[in-house]
């Protein structure tokens, strides 16, 4: 598995190395020993306590979501299809505070992101069907949910496709300026 840094502090892209033959392919999507070695913390992978999956149709946007309090760390990958995945650093003490970066996650390269606590996360489905899998280090607590509207002009995320569907919750999310006041 290749592990590469990104422009966002502490975020890495993990790319499995599939074995391909006439039957198709086989790949290891996660390796605890490699992950723990990269973080320099034995047993760090055991902190993941919940796996979730979403299915979206082309043009759907889910996000921009985050967690208050201790936040949450997660591994995100697209098991079927492709998504335009966006992260925004909301850690006020980070050198990349306020910086966003987009990643293509798909079922061809099997890349996935390690997202440490303190980020907004969202994505847009690029294919007719896209299944996104999340491995999260804390049980979900809805009282800690925070978010910024997907179309907030100050955040200015550049979504690659016309938007087809967004949940009522995501449409009603606050602004980037409100979130900045909340985290400071």
Q: What is the pLDDT of residue 51?
A: 87
> Residues of the chain with pLDDT > 90: what percent?
71
Residue from 84, 114, 121, 134 carrying the catalytic annotation: 134
Residue from 38, 65, 84, 182 carrying the catalytic annotation: 65
Mean pLDDT of all residues in 38-59: 84
Q: Which residue has 């294919």 as its token pair?
A: 127
Q: What is the pLDDT of residue 21?
A: 86
Q: What is the pTM of this model?
A: 0.90
Q: In the predicted model, is pLDDT for residue 40 greater than 90?
A: no
Mean pLDDT of the chain: 92
| Positive/negative CA dihedral, 146, 74, 152, 124 | negative
> Comparing 54 with 1, which gets the higher pLDDT?
54
pLDDT, tens digit, 9 for 90 and up, residues 50-59 = 889 999 999 9
**Gyration radius of the chain over CA positions:** 16
Q: What is the pLDDT of residue 45?
A: 74
134 is catalytic: yes
pLDDT, tens digit, 9 for 90 and up, residues 105-154 = 999 999 999 999 999 999 999 999 999 999 999 988 999 999 999 999 99
28 Cβ contact list (under 8 Å, min separation 6): 1, 16
Task: Give the residue among 84, 54, 53, 52 at the shortest CA–CA distance from 163.
Answer: 84
pLDDT, tens digit, 9 for 90 and up, residues 170-180 = 999 999 999 99
Domain map of the chain by residue range? 2-183
Q: Which residues pair with 25 in a beta bridge?
A: 20
Specify whether domain 2-183 bears CATH 2.60.120.10.
yes
Q: In the predicted model, is pLDDT for residue 41 greater than 80?
A: no
Mean pLDDT of all residues in 81-109: 97
Q: How confident is the model at residue 17 (pLDDT cuts 50, 70, 90)?
A: confident
Q: How far is CA 92 from CA 75, 88, 89, in A?
A: 22, 12, 8
């Amino acid at each position: 598995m290749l592990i590469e840094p990104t422009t966002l502090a502490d975020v890495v892209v993990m790319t499995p190395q599939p074995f391909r033959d006439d039957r198709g392919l086989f790949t290891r999507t996660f390796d605890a020993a490699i992950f723990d070695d990269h973080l320099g913390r034995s047993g760090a992978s055991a902190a993941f306590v919940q796996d979730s999956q979403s299915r979206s149709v082309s043009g759907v946007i889910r996000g921009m979501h985050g967690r208050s309090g201790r936040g949450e760390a997660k591994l995100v990958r697209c098991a079927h299809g492709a998504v335009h995945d966006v992260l925004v650093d909301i850690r006020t003490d980070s050198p990349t505070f306020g910086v966003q970066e987009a990643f293509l996650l798909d079922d061809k390269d099997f890349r996935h992101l390690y997202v440490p606590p303190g980020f907004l996360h969202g994505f847009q489905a690029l294919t007719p069907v896209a299944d996104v899998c999340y491995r999260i280090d804390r049980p979900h607590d809805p009282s800690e949910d925070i978010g910024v509207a997907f179309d907030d002009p100050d955040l200015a995320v550049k979504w690659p496709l016309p938007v087809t569907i967004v949940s009522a919750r995501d449409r009603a999310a606050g602004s980037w300026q409100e979130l900045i006041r909340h985290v400071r």
